[in-house]
Copies of this chain bind each other. A is one copy, B any other.
Amino acid sequence: MTRPAVEVLTFGESMVSFRSDGPLVQGGRQTVRLAGAESNVAIGLSRLGHTVAWAGRVGDDTFGRLVLRELRAEGVDTSCAVVDGMRPTGLMFVEQRSADLTRVEYRRAGSAGSAIGKDDVAEALRTAPHILHVTGITPALSGTAAEAVSWAVESARAAGALVSFDVNFRGRLWSRDQARESLAPLARRATLVVASDDELDLVATGDEDAAVAHLLDEGVQQVAVKRGPAGASVHTRAGRADAPAVPVTAIDPIGAGDAFSAGYLSGVLDGLEPPECLARAVATGAFAVSSRGDWEGAPTRADLDLLASHTPGATLR
């Protein structure tokens, strides 16, 4: 019963999401679940067999207990999570207005999750993770949250950990200009940067090639760029590799980027080369896109193997 060391530590705000079956204005039924970019990545890694810890603050309310309950259920270590007796857990309400327009209303201002600070993270970093994964959402939450991210990145570097940074721009939290000021310095200190193609300008200047070159010059070792249905690329000093998107039936795009990050980091932990990491990232992203829910469809290793060896669309019977 030796307890494996933590392979990946991530932290950020996790919330409780209410998803409406029909128009929310007509009332009706809602489905409640855990939501959060970093916790999605943590679950994605745990499903693939890695040891992961998640840090963050939740309120001392039923919603905070729900967040921790689901993370534990998925095998994510929550022993560093903090229950904040003064602030509520953030909520979000997701409504699909039509097949092509999803609206989200938040109740996250002043939330426990946004009050995360350096001390919370310091405690968590004592687990000495191989990888620290942070996103560009957290610095937008509050001053203490922004400080926690910067501090954690520096501390992890100092401790020899690999730093993974997913740009993850959220237009509802801040402007592109605000984001750029905060995120560009973080990206430059990361080992791995993950970005959508329309997010690269938030962390470096110029077109994709120039921006990537700039990051690699700054010391970033791998830059993974997501292009949705057009696939994805990874850039290293050794050059660029591309992967086409897996042709799946898209059901729900939410969580696809987080699944991509989880797949990529899983490859890194398995010692794969960047193009192989990219292939796994594209596969885990495909699972997320073709399953309902933010993280519920994240694949196990057995799922990955099956997808690789079978024709899509086939039933295993």
Contact = CB atoms under 8 A, between A and B. Distances in A.
Contacts of A27: 31-34, 66, 70
Contacts of A316: 101-104, 172
B126 A1 contact: yes
A123 B1 contact: yes
A293 interface: yes
Interface stretch (A87-95, A156-164, A182-190, A260-268): A87-95
Contacts of A92: 317
A312 interface: yes
A72 interface: yes
A73 B70 contact: yes
A314 to B, nearest CB: 8
Interface string A1-39: 101000000000000001010111111111111100000
Given A22-B296, A62-B93, A73-B72, A312 B29 contact: no
Nearest to A315: B102
A245 interface: no
A291 B24 CA distance: 13
Interface in A268-296: 286-287, 290-293, 296
A175 interface: no
16 contacts: A3-B79, A18-B18, A22-B296, A26-B296, A27-B31, A29-B30, A30-B31, A72-B73, A98-B251, A98-B286, A99-B291, A100-B249, A100-B313, A101-B306, A102-B316, A103-B316
- In the A-B complex, list the 10 residue pairs whose CB atoms are closest, starting with the nearest: A73-B73, A99-B249, A99-B290, A98-B290, A30-B30, A100-B312, A102-B315, A104-B317, A27-B32, A98-B291
